[in-house]
Structure 1
Amino acid sequence: MKTWQCTVCKYIHKGDAPPEKCPICGVPASKFIEIDPAEAEALAAKKKRPPAKKAASPDDQAKTETAAPAAPEPAPPKKDRKPYDILTDLMVQHHAHPVSVHFPNGVLPVAVMVFVLAWLFDSTLLSQVGMVNLIFVLLVLPFVLYSGVIEWQKKYMQAMTVIFKIKILAAAITTASCVISLAWVLIEPDVLTRPHAWAFILINVVMIAAAGVAGHIGGKLVFKD
Protein backbone atom coordinates (compact mmCIF):
# COMPACT_ATOMS: atom_id res chain seq x y z
CA MET A 1 0.00 0.00 0.00
CA LYS A 2 1.33 3.43 -0.98
CA THR A 3 1.06 6.74 0.82
CA TRP A 4 -0.03 9.85 -1.08
CA GLN A 5 -0.11 13.49 -0.02
CA CYS A 6 -2.20 16.31 -1.44
CA THR A 7 0.11 19.15 -2.44
CA VAL A 8 -2.60 21.73 -1.72
CA CYS A 9 -4.02 20.90 1.73
CA LYS A 10 -1.45 18.21 2.79
CA TYR A 11 -4.13 15.54 3.23
CA ILE A 12 -2.63 12.03 3.55
CA HIS A 13 -4.19 9.13 1.62
CA LYS A 14 -3.14 5.49 1.82
CA GLY A 15 -3.89 3.20 -1.10
CA ASP A 16 -2.55 1.76 -4.34
CA ALA A 17 -3.48 4.98 -6.17
CA PRO A 18 -4.42 8.52 -5.16
CA PRO A 19 -8.15 9.32 -4.91
CA GLU A 20 -9.92 10.81 -7.91
CA LYS A 21 -10.18 14.03 -5.95
CA CYS A 22 -9.06 15.17 -2.53
CA PRO A 23 -11.87 14.64 0.01
CA ILE A 24 -10.80 17.81 1.83
CA CYS A 25 -10.04 20.49 -0.78
CA GLY A 26 -11.40 18.77 -3.90
CA VAL A 27 -8.32 18.99 -6.16
CA PRO A 28 -7.86 16.18 -8.74
CA ALA A 29 -5.58 13.16 -8.39
CA SER A 30 -2.84 14.92 -10.37
CA LYS A 31 -2.22 17.14 -7.34
CA PHE A 32 -1.17 14.14 -5.21
CA ILE A 33 2.43 13.00 -4.80
CA GLU A 34 3.69 9.70 -3.45
CA ILE A 35 5.62 9.97 -0.19
CA ASP A 36 7.59 7.49 1.90
CA PRO A 37 6.08 7.45 5.42
CA ALA A 38 9.15 5.73 6.89
CA GLU A 39 11.49 8.42 5.63
CA ALA A 40 9.12 11.18 6.75
CA GLU A 41 8.94 9.75 10.28
CA ALA A 42 12.73 9.32 10.40
CA LEU A 43 13.30 12.92 9.33
CA ALA A 44 10.78 14.21 11.87
CA ALA A 45 12.45 12.22 14.66
CA LYS A 46 15.87 13.43 13.57
CA LYS A 47 14.75 17.05 13.74
CA LYS A 48 13.33 16.61 17.23
CA ARG A 49 16.33 14.69 18.62
CA PRO A 50 19.78 16.32 18.41
CA PRO A 51 22.54 13.91 17.34
CA ALA A 52 24.58 12.43 20.19
CA LYS A 53 28.14 13.62 20.41
CA LYS A 54 30.72 10.83 20.26
CA ALA A 55 33.73 11.15 22.54
CA ALA A 56 36.84 11.76 20.48
CA SER A 57 39.66 9.23 20.81
CA PRO A 58 43.33 10.35 21.22
CA ASP A 59 44.02 9.39 17.60
CA ASP A 60 41.06 11.50 16.40
CA GLN A 61 42.27 14.45 18.47
CA ALA A 62 45.74 14.16 16.97
CA LYS A 63 44.29 14.03 13.46
CA THR A 64 42.14 17.07 14.19
CA GLU A 65 45.12 19.05 15.47
CA THR A 66 47.34 18.20 12.47
CA ALA A 67 44.66 18.52 9.80
CA ALA A 68 44.52 21.78 7.91
CA PRO A 69 41.31 23.75 8.36
CA ALA A 70 38.86 23.12 5.55
CA ALA A 71 37.99 26.04 3.35
CA PRO A 72 34.51 27.34 4.09
CA GLU A 73 31.90 26.61 1.45
CA PRO A 74 30.57 29.68 -0.32
CA ALA A 75 27.19 30.71 1.02
CA PRO A 76 24.33 30.48 -1.48
CA PRO A 77 23.24 33.84 -2.81
CA LYS A 78 20.35 35.30 -0.88
CA LYS A 79 17.28 36.29 -2.81
CA ASP A 80 16.10 39.80 -2.18
CA ARG A 81 12.65 39.57 -0.65
CA LYS A 82 10.28 42.47 -0.65
CA PRO A 83 8.87 43.63 2.70
CA TYR A 84 5.38 42.77 1.46
CA ASP A 85 6.40 39.14 0.78
CA ILE A 86 8.02 38.88 4.20
CA LEU A 87 4.87 40.25 5.84
CA THR A 88 2.49 37.93 4.02
CA ASP A 89 4.71 34.91 4.72
CA LEU A 90 4.64 35.78 8.41
CA MET A 91 0.85 36.09 8.26
CA VAL A 92 0.56 32.55 6.91
CA GLN A 93 3.21 31.18 9.25
CA HIS A 94 1.50 32.59 12.35
CA HIS A 95 -2.07 31.76 11.20
CA ALA A 96 -3.33 35.33 10.87
CA HIS A 97 -6.58 34.28 9.18
CA PRO A 98 -7.70 31.53 11.61
CA VAL A 99 -6.91 33.84 14.52
CA SER A 100 -8.56 36.98 13.16
CA VAL A 101 -11.72 35.21 11.99
CA HIS A 102 -12.61 34.35 15.59
CA PHE A 103 -13.41 38.00 16.34
CA PRO A 104 -16.31 38.55 13.89
CA ASN A 105 -17.50 34.95 14.28
CA GLY A 106 -17.78 35.48 18.02
CA VAL A 107 -19.60 38.81 17.75
CA LEU A 108 -22.00 38.04 14.88
CA PRO A 109 -24.19 35.59 16.85
CA VAL A 110 -24.45 38.14 19.66
CA ALA A 111 -25.50 40.88 17.22
CA VAL A 112 -28.18 38.69 15.61
CA MET A 113 -29.49 37.51 18.98
CA VAL A 114 -29.71 41.11 20.21
CA PHE A 115 -31.58 42.19 17.07
CA VAL A 116 -34.08 39.34 17.53
CA LEU A 117 -34.64 40.35 21.16
CA ALA A 118 -35.06 43.98 20.13
CA TRP A 119 -37.66 42.90 17.58
CA LEU A 120 -39.56 40.70 20.05
CA PHE A 121 -39.55 43.19 22.93
CA ASP A 122 -39.70 46.40 20.87
CA SER A 123 -36.49 47.66 22.49
CA THR A 124 -34.62 50.59 20.95
CA LEU A 125 -31.70 50.07 23.34
CA LEU A 126 -31.12 46.49 22.21
CA SER A 127 -31.31 47.64 18.59
CA GLN A 128 -28.52 50.13 19.27
CA VAL A 129 -26.45 47.42 20.98
CA GLY A 130 -26.78 45.23 17.90
CA MET A 131 -25.74 48.14 15.70
CA VAL A 132 -22.55 48.67 17.76
CA ASN A 133 -21.72 44.98 17.39
CA LEU A 134 -22.13 45.20 13.61
CA ILE A 135 -19.84 48.24 13.48
CA PHE A 136 -17.13 46.25 15.25
CA VAL A 137 -17.59 43.31 12.88
CA LEU A 138 -17.38 45.56 9.83
CA LEU A 139 -14.16 47.12 11.11
CA VAL A 140 -12.52 43.71 11.49
CA LEU A 141 -13.84 42.07 8.31
CA PRO A 142 -11.41 43.72 5.83
CA PHE A 143 -8.39 42.19 7.57
CA VAL A 144 -10.16 38.84 7.90
CA LEU A 145 -10.92 38.77 4.17
CA TYR A 146 -7.43 39.97 3.24
CA SER A 147 -5.68 37.39 5.41
CA GLY A 148 -7.96 34.70 3.98
CA VAL A 149 -7.00 35.62 0.41
CA ILE A 150 -3.30 35.59 1.34
CA GLU A 151 -3.63 32.14 2.91
CA TRP A 152 -5.53 30.84 -0.12
CA GLN A 153 -2.84 32.15 -2.47
CA LYS A 154 0.22 30.99 -0.53
CA LYS A 155 -0.91 27.91 1.38
CA TYR A 156 -3.51 26.44 -1.00
CA MET A 157 -1.91 27.63 -4.27
CA GLN A 158 -5.09 29.47 -5.38
CA ALA A 159 -6.92 26.18 -5.93
CA MET A 160 -10.34 26.99 -7.39
CA THR A 161 -12.25 23.85 -6.43
CA VAL A 162 -15.86 23.65 -5.25
CA ILE A 163 -14.95 23.89 -1.57
CA PHE A 164 -12.95 27.10 -2.09
CA LYS A 165 -15.66 28.59 -4.31
CA ILE A 166 -18.26 27.94 -1.59
CA LYS A 167 -16.00 29.45 1.06
CA ILE A 168 -15.39 32.58 -1.04
CA LEU A 169 -19.12 32.91 -1.78
CA ALA A 170 -19.99 32.48 1.91
CA ALA A 171 -17.49 35.18 2.88
CA ALA A 172 -18.93 37.53 0.24
CA ILE A 173 -22.51 36.92 1.45
CA THR A 174 -21.46 37.52 5.06
CA THR A 175 -19.78 40.81 4.18
CA ALA A 176 -22.64 42.02 1.97
CA SER A 177 -25.26 41.13 4.59
CA CYS A 178 -23.29 42.92 7.29
CA VAL A 179 -22.98 46.08 5.17
CA ILE A 180 -26.70 46.03 4.26
CA SER A 181 -27.79 45.46 7.87
CA LEU A 182 -25.60 48.22 9.26
CA ALA A 183 -26.59 50.71 6.56
CA TRP A 184 -30.27 49.85 7.08
CA VAL A 185 -30.21 50.33 10.84
CA LEU A 186 -28.26 53.59 10.48
CA ILE A 187 -30.70 55.00 7.93
CA GLU A 188 -33.78 53.65 9.72
CA PRO A 189 -32.97 53.29 13.45
CA ASP A 190 -36.50 52.10 14.28
CA VAL A 191 -36.52 49.41 11.58
CA LEU A 192 -37.27 46.71 14.16
CA THR A 193 -40.55 48.41 15.07
CA ARG A 194 -41.73 48.57 11.46
CA PRO A 195 -43.86 45.96 9.65
CA HIS A 196 -40.91 45.00 7.44
CA ALA A 197 -38.66 44.19 10.43
CA TRP A 198 -38.84 40.51 9.44
CA ALA A 199 -36.81 41.31 6.29
CA PHE A 200 -34.08 42.89 8.41
CA ILE A 201 -33.99 39.83 10.68
CA LEU A 202 -33.88 37.52 7.65
CA ILE A 203 -30.80 39.32 6.29
CA ASN A 204 -29.08 38.85 9.64
CA VAL A 205 -29.98 35.15 9.73
CA VAL A 206 -28.51 34.73 6.23
CA MET A 207 -25.39 36.57 7.41
CA ILE A 208 -24.77 34.27 10.37
CA ALA A 209 -25.56 31.16 8.30
CA ALA A 210 -23.02 32.17 5.65
CA ALA A 211 -20.42 32.85 8.34
CA GLY A 212 -21.10 29.38 9.75
CA VAL A 213 -20.60 27.75 6.35
CA ALA A 214 -17.30 29.58 5.83
CA GLY A 215 -16.13 28.56 9.30
CA HIS A 216 -17.13 24.93 8.74
CA ILE A 217 -15.12 24.75 5.52
CA GLY A 218 -12.16 26.39 7.22
CA GLY A 219 -12.31 23.75 9.93
CA LYS A 220 -12.33 20.95 7.33
CA LEU A 221 -9.23 22.41 5.68
CA VAL A 222 -7.39 22.76 8.98
CA PHE A 223 -8.31 19.44 10.62
CA LYS A 224 -8.45 17.37 7.38
CA ASP A 225 -11.70 15.56 8.23
Structure 2
Amino acid sequence: MKAWKCTVCNYVHEGEFPPEKCPVCGADKSKFVEIQPSDEPDKSKPETAGSAISEPEKTETPAPQSLYQKITDLMIRHHAHPILVHTPNGILPIAAVLFVIAWLFDATLPAKAAAVNLVFVVLALPLVVYTGVLEWQRKYNQADTLLFRIKILAATLTCASCLISLIWFLVNPAVLSTSLAWIFILINLIMLASAGIAGYIGGKLVFKD
Protein backbone atom coordinates (compact mmCIF):
# COMPACT_ATOMS: atom_id res chain seq x y z
CA MET A 1 0.00 0.00 0.00
CA LYS A 2 1.44 3.35 -1.05
CA ALA A 3 1.36 6.45 1.13
CA TRP A 4 0.99 9.98 -0.20
CA LYS A 5 1.61 13.22 1.69
CA CYS A 6 0.02 16.58 0.95
CA THR A 7 2.80 19.14 0.66
CA VAL A 8 0.44 21.89 1.82
CA CYS A 9 -0.97 20.55 5.11
CA ASN A 10 1.01 17.28 5.56
CA TYR A 11 -2.12 15.11 5.41
CA VAL A 12 -1.18 11.47 4.68
CA HIS A 13 -3.32 9.38 2.33
CA GLU A 14 -2.93 5.63 1.91
CA GLY A 15 -3.80 4.11 -1.46
CA GLU A 16 -2.46 3.24 -4.87
CA PHE A 17 -3.04 6.78 -6.11
CA PRO A 18 -3.31 10.20 -4.43
CA PRO A 19 -6.82 11.61 -3.94
CA GLU A 20 -8.19 14.08 -6.48
CA LYS A 21 -8.37 16.68 -3.72
CA CYS A 22 -6.94 16.84 -0.20
CA PRO A 23 -9.82 16.24 2.25
CA VAL A 24 -8.23 18.62 4.76
CA CYS A 25 -6.99 21.70 2.87
CA GLY A 26 -8.57 21.13 -0.54
CA ALA A 27 -5.25 21.11 -2.43
CA ASP A 28 -5.14 19.49 -5.87
CA LYS A 29 -3.71 15.97 -6.35
CA SER A 30 -0.60 17.52 -7.89
CA LYS A 31 0.36 18.71 -4.40
CA PHE A 32 0.73 15.11 -3.18
CA VAL A 33 4.10 13.35 -3.12
CA GLU A 34 4.69 9.68 -2.53
CA ILE A 35 6.29 8.82 0.81
CA GLN A 36 9.25 6.58 0.09
CA PRO A 37 10.30 3.95 2.68
CA SER A 38 13.58 4.77 4.37
CA ASP A 39 16.56 3.21 2.70
CA GLU A 40 18.24 0.75 5.06
CA PRO A 41 21.93 -0.09 4.61
CA ASP A 42 22.68 -3.45 3.02
CA LYS A 43 24.27 -5.51 5.78
CA SER A 44 24.80 -8.58 3.58
CA LYS A 45 27.97 -7.13 2.05
CA PRO A 46 31.03 -7.00 4.31
CA GLU A 47 32.69 -3.67 4.71
CA THR A 48 36.08 -3.24 3.11
CA ALA A 49 38.93 -1.53 4.82
CA GLY A 50 38.60 1.40 2.48
CA SER A 51 34.89 1.81 3.04
CA ALA A 52 35.25 1.67 6.82
CA ILE A 53 37.18 4.90 6.74
CA SER A 54 34.80 7.70 5.98
CA GLU A 55 35.93 11.05 4.79
CA PRO A 56 34.72 14.06 6.76
CA GLU A 57 31.69 15.61 5.14
CA LYS A 58 31.90 19.15 3.94
CA THR A 59 29.10 21.16 5.48
CA GLU A 60 28.29 24.74 4.70
CA THR A 61 27.83 27.06 7.63
CA PRO A 62 24.32 28.54 7.45
CA ALA A 63 24.04 32.29 7.36
CA PRO A 64 23.22 33.82 10.74
CA GLN A 65 19.54 34.57 11.23
CA SER A 66 18.31 38.04 12.00
CA LEU A 67 16.35 38.73 15.17
CA TYR A 68 13.15 38.99 13.13
CA GLN A 69 13.74 35.58 11.53
CA LYS A 70 14.38 34.01 14.93
CA ILE A 71 11.16 35.45 16.33
CA THR A 72 9.05 34.32 13.37
CA ASP A 73 10.61 30.84 13.50
CA LEU A 74 9.67 30.60 17.18
CA MET A 75 6.12 31.72 16.37
CA ILE A 76 5.72 28.95 13.81
CA ARG A 77 7.44 26.30 15.92
CA HIS A 78 5.40 27.00 19.04
CA HIS A 79 2.05 27.48 17.24
CA ALA A 80 1.55 31.16 18.09
CA HIS A 81 -1.48 31.60 15.82
CA PRO A 82 -3.62 28.73 17.22
CA ILE A 83 -2.85 30.02 20.72
CA LEU A 84 -3.54 33.71 20.03
CA VAL A 85 -6.76 33.03 18.13
CA HIS A 86 -8.34 31.85 21.39
CA THR A 87 -8.62 35.51 22.42
CA PRO A 88 -11.16 36.64 19.77
CA ASN A 89 -12.85 33.22 19.59
CA GLY A 90 -13.38 33.22 23.35
CA ILE A 91 -14.35 36.87 23.86
CA LEU A 92 -16.47 37.65 20.79
CA PRO A 93 -19.35 35.30 21.73
CA ILE A 94 -19.56 36.97 25.15
CA ALA A 95 -19.61 40.45 23.59
CA ALA A 96 -22.32 39.49 21.09
CA VAL A 97 -24.52 37.93 23.79
CA LEU A 98 -24.12 41.00 26.01
CA PHE A 99 -25.13 43.31 23.17
CA VAL A 100 -28.24 41.20 22.51
CA ILE A 101 -29.15 41.27 26.22
CA ALA A 102 -28.69 45.04 26.31
CA TRP A 103 -30.92 45.40 23.25
CA LEU A 104 -33.70 43.13 24.50
CA PHE A 105 -33.85 44.54 28.02
CA ASP A 106 -32.85 48.14 27.23
CA ALA A 107 -29.92 47.88 29.65
CA THR A 108 -26.77 49.97 29.42
CA LEU A 109 -24.44 47.96 31.66
CA PRO A 110 -24.27 44.83 29.44
CA ALA A 111 -23.60 47.04 26.41
CA LYS A 112 -20.71 48.76 28.18
CA ALA A 113 -19.31 45.39 29.25
CA ALA A 114 -19.56 44.15 25.66
CA ALA A 115 -17.70 47.21 24.40
CA VAL A 116 -14.89 46.62 26.90
CA ASN A 117 -14.61 43.04 25.64
CA LEU A 118 -14.35 44.30 22.06
CA VAL A 119 -11.51 46.63 23.05
CA PHE A 120 -9.42 43.64 24.14
CA VAL A 121 -10.27 41.81 20.92
CA VAL A 122 -9.24 44.79 18.78
CA LEU A 123 -5.95 45.01 20.67
CA ALA A 124 -5.26 41.33 20.03
CA LEU A 125 -6.38 41.22 16.39
CA PRO A 126 -3.21 42.68 14.77
CA LEU A 127 -1.05 39.94 16.27
CA VAL A 128 -3.66 37.28 15.50
CA VAL A 129 -3.84 38.35 11.86
CA TYR A 130 -0.06 38.67 11.54
CA THR A 131 0.64 35.19 12.92
CA GLY A 132 -2.13 33.78 10.74
CA VAL A 133 -0.62 35.26 7.57
CA LEU A 134 2.84 34.14 8.67
CA GLU A 135 1.64 30.57 9.20
CA TRP A 136 -0.14 30.56 5.83
CA GLN A 137 3.03 31.74 4.09
CA ARG A 138 5.58 29.58 5.90
CA LYS A 139 3.66 26.44 6.88
CA TYR A 140 1.14 26.13 4.05
CA ASN A 141 3.25 27.67 1.25
CA GLN A 142 0.60 30.35 0.52
CA ALA A 143 -1.75 27.66 -0.78
CA ASP A 144 -4.48 29.25 -2.91
CA THR A 145 -7.30 26.77 -2.28
CA LEU A 146 -10.98 27.35 -1.62
CA LEU A 147 -10.52 26.46 2.05
CA PHE A 148 -7.88 29.13 2.60
CA ARG A 149 -9.88 31.69 0.63
CA ILE A 150 -12.89 31.10 2.88
CA LYS A 151 -10.71 31.34 5.99
CA ILE A 152 -9.14 34.62 4.85
CA LEU A 153 -12.56 36.05 3.95
CA ALA A 154 -14.00 34.97 7.31
CA ALA A 155 -11.08 36.54 9.18
CA THR A 156 -11.48 39.77 7.19
CA LEU A 157 -15.20 39.94 7.98
CA THR A 158 -14.48 39.29 11.65
CA CYS A 159 -11.96 42.14 11.86
CA ALA A 160 -14.12 44.58 9.89
CA SER A 161 -17.34 43.89 11.80
CA CYS A 162 -15.52 44.04 15.14
CA LEU A 163 -14.04 47.45 14.33
CA ILE A 164 -17.35 48.78 12.98
CA SER A 165 -19.22 47.58 16.05
CA LEU A 166 -16.75 49.10 18.52
CA ILE A 167 -16.39 52.44 16.71
CA TRP A 168 -20.16 52.72 16.27
CA PHE A 169 -20.76 52.12 19.96
CA LEU A 170 -18.06 54.59 21.02
CA VAL A 171 -19.52 57.27 18.75
CA ASN A 172 -23.11 56.56 19.81
CA PRO A 173 -23.36 54.58 23.09
CA ALA A 174 -27.17 54.71 22.82
CA VAL A 175 -27.24 52.94 19.45
CA LEU A 176 -29.16 49.98 20.90
CA SER A 177 -32.02 52.31 21.77
CA THR A 178 -32.33 53.69 18.25
CA SER A 179 -34.09 52.40 15.14
CA LEU A 180 -30.72 51.20 13.80
CA ALA A 181 -30.22 48.79 16.68
CA TRP A 182 -31.11 45.76 14.54
CA ILE A 183 -28.33 46.65 12.07
CA PHE A 184 -25.88 46.90 14.97
CA ILE A 185 -26.96 43.48 16.24
CA LEU A 186 -26.73 42.04 12.72
CA ILE A 187 -23.14 43.24 12.42
CA ASN A 188 -22.32 41.48 15.67
CA LEU A 189 -23.96 38.27 14.48
CA ILE A 190 -21.92 38.43 11.25
CA MET A 191 -18.82 38.97 13.38
CA LEU A 192 -19.68 35.93 15.50
CA ALA A 193 -20.45 33.67 12.53
CA SER A 194 -17.28 34.71 10.69
CA ALA A 195 -15.11 34.02 13.73
CA GLY A 196 -16.75 30.61 14.10
CA ILE A 197 -16.11 29.70 10.45
CA ALA A 198 -12.47 30.81 10.61
CA GLY A 199 -11.98 28.87 13.84
CA TYR A 200 -13.60 25.74 12.40
CA ILE A 201 -11.34 25.78 9.34
CA GLY A 202 -8.30 26.40 11.54
CA GLY A 203 -9.17 23.39 13.68
CA LYS A 204 -9.64 21.29 10.55
CA LEU A 205 -6.15 22.22 9.37
CA VAL A 206 -4.53 21.62 12.75
CA PHE A 207 -6.15 18.27 13.52
CA LYS A 208 -6.24 17.02 9.88
CA ASP A 209 -9.90 16.12 10.39
TM-score where L is the length of structure 2: 0.89
Instruction: For 1:151-190, list aligned pairs within 5 A.
Output: 151-190=135-174
How many angstroms does 1:71 deviate by?
8.8
Alignment partner of 1:216 out of 189, 200, 203: 200
Alignment partner of 1:88 out of 67, 72, 77: 72
Instruction: For 1:1-225, list aligned pairs within 5 A.
Output: 1-36=1-36, 39=38, 75-225=59-209
How many angstroms does 1:183 deviate by?
0.8
TM-score where L is the length of structure 1: 0.83
Task: Name the aligned partner's letter for residue 69 of structure 2.
Answer: D
How many angstroms does 1:76 deviate by?
2.9
Task: Name the aligned partner's letter for residue 15 of structure 1.
Answer: G
Q: Who wins on radius of gyration, i.e. which is larger?
A: 1
Task: Tell me how far apart the structure 2 counterparts of residues 29 and 110 of structure 1 sit (CA, whole Å).
Answer: 41
Task: Tell me how far apart the structure 1 counterparts of residues 19 and 38 of structure 2 sit (CA, whole Å).
Answer: 22
Alpha-carbon deviations, 1:87-123, whole Å to 9, x = none?
1111000000000000111000000010011011111
Relative to structure 1, the CA distance from residue 71 to residue 31 in structure 2 (aligned partners, 3 Å threshold; closer, same or farther) is closer
Task: Tell me how far apart the structure 1 counterparts of residues 123 and 63 of structure 2 sit (CA, whole Å).
Answer: 36
Task: Name the aligned partner's letter for residue 143 of structure 1.
Answer: L
Task: Tell me how far apart the structure 1 counterparts of residues 65 and 79 of structure 2 sit (CA, whole Å).
Answer: 20
Task: Tell me how far apart the structure 1 counterparts of residues 18 and 74 of structure 2 sit (CA, whole Å).
Answer: 32
Structure 1: runs of 5 or more not aligned: 43-69
How many angstroms does 1:72 deviate by?
6.5
Alpha-carbon deviations, 1:135-194, whole Å to 9, x = none?
110000000000000000000000010000000000000000001000110111001111
Structure 2: runs of 5 or more not aligned: 41-53
How many angstroms does 1:82 deviate by?
2.1
Alpha-carbon deviations, 1:3-61, whole Å to 9, x = none?
1000110001011110111111111111111114x649x9xxxxxxxxxxxxxxxxxxx
Task: Name the aligned partner's letter for residue 200 of structure 1.
Answer: F
Task: Name the aligned partner's letter for residue 216 of structure 1.
Answer: Y
Task: Tell me how far apart the structure 2 counterparts of residues 218 and 72 of structure 1 sit (CA, whole Å).
Answer: 45
Aligned length: 196
- SS at 1:114's partner residue? helix
Task: Tell me how far apart the structure 1 counterparts of residues 25 and 167 of structure 2 sit (CA, whole Å).
Answer: 35
Task: Name the aligned partner's letter for residue 164 of structure 1.
Answer: F
Across the aligned residues of Structure 1 and Structure 2, the Cα RMSD in angstroms comes to 1.8
Q: 2:51 aligns to what?
A: none
Matched residues, percent identical? Answer: 58
Task: Name the aligned partner's letter for residue 23 of structure 1.
Answer: P
